Chains A and B, each alone.
Chain A
Amino acid sequence: DVKVTQSSRYLVKRTGEKVFLECVQDMDHENMFWYRQDPGLGLRLIYFSYDVKMKEKGDIPEGYSVSREKKERFSLILESASTNQTSMYLCASSLVSGSPREQFFGPGTRLTVL
């Protein structure tokens, strides 16, 4: 089974702190995604990576950055956390070749910024 793990299930941070969310997948997937999920807004893509050191902005990249130094690991960084970044953060991975390519999700990190 594909396994996508996220470093924390719950996280509480203060406004202005730098926050790191880590995601690791064990199936050698090329694609990795960071989404946030908010009530009434569904899933929104923050950043996407299709290879080591490669990244693309999603729909809502402002206030976030990402790092992919190794194929299995994709990190989301909140440079200076703000209260409007309180949300559920979901990491996902998928193959880039073959069709169709379902995404496998981690358990999520519920981040609260005070």
Chain B
Amino acid sequence: DAKTTQPPSMDCAEGRAANLPCNHSTISGNEYVYWYRQIHSQGPQYIIHGLKNNETNEMASLIITEDRKSSTLILPHATLRDTAVYYCIVRAPSFTGANSKLTFGKGITLSVRP
């Protein structure tokens, strides 16, 4: 799986958009970008994934640059409950067995302030 680079932390004000960047300059053509988050003392939660088109769901939007070397997760109206560690992961979709495992890096800690 390609390596990702995220800043260690960022903060934003409640109600404002939170834009979380991720660099993945070695991404391969068939690799997807996934985002998960982990709220303190809870299990990781899947947020969104994409290949090359921008994606949106009820939780967030994912913007992937045209060259696919970076992406941004957007939480449009951050709340205090969005305070968490956010992980950007790049991986190919087809794998079997224990290669299906997820590998989380250090992620980015988002702090939403009142």
Bound complex: CA A63 to CA B103 (Å): 21
* Distance of A102 Cα from B50 Cα, bound (Å): 11
Using a CB-CB cutoff of 8 Å, which residues 12-64 of chain B contact chain A? 32, 34, 41-46, 49
Shortest distance in angstroms between A62's beta carbon and chain B's nearest beta carbon?
A: 15
**A90–B97 contact, CB under 8 A?**
no
Residues 36-62 (chain A) with a chain B CB within 8 angstroms: 42-43, 45, 48, 50, 56-59
Counting contact residues on chain A (CB < 8 A from B), the size range is 20 to 34
A80 close to chain B: CB less than 8 A: no
**A43→B49 contact, CB < 8 A:** no
Is B105's CB within 8 Å of the partner chain A? yes
Contact of A105 among B43, B93, B98 (CB under 8 A): B43
Q: Contact check, B32 vs A48: say whether CB atoms are below 8 A apart.
A: no
Binds B, one of A12-20, A69-77, A106-114: A106-114
Write out, one digit per residue, whether chain B residues 80-96 have a CB within 8 A of any chain A CB (1) or not (0).
00000000000101101
Structural contact, A31 and B100, CB atoms closer than 8 A:
yes
Q: Within the complex, what minimum Cβ distance (angstroms) separates A39 from chain B?
A: 11
State whether A42 touches B41 (Cβ < 8 A). no
Closest chain-B Cβ to A42's Cβ sits at a distance in Å of 5
Tell me whether A64 is interfacial, beta carbon within 8 Å. Answer: no
9 pairs across A/B with beta carbons < 8 Å?
A48-B100, A50-B97, A58-B98, A100-B32, A101-B93, A102-B34, A103-B46, A106-B43, A108-B42
A residues sitting closer than 8 Å to B (CB atoms) are 4, 31, 33, 35, 42-43, 45, 48, 50, 56-59, 90-92, 94, 99-108, 110
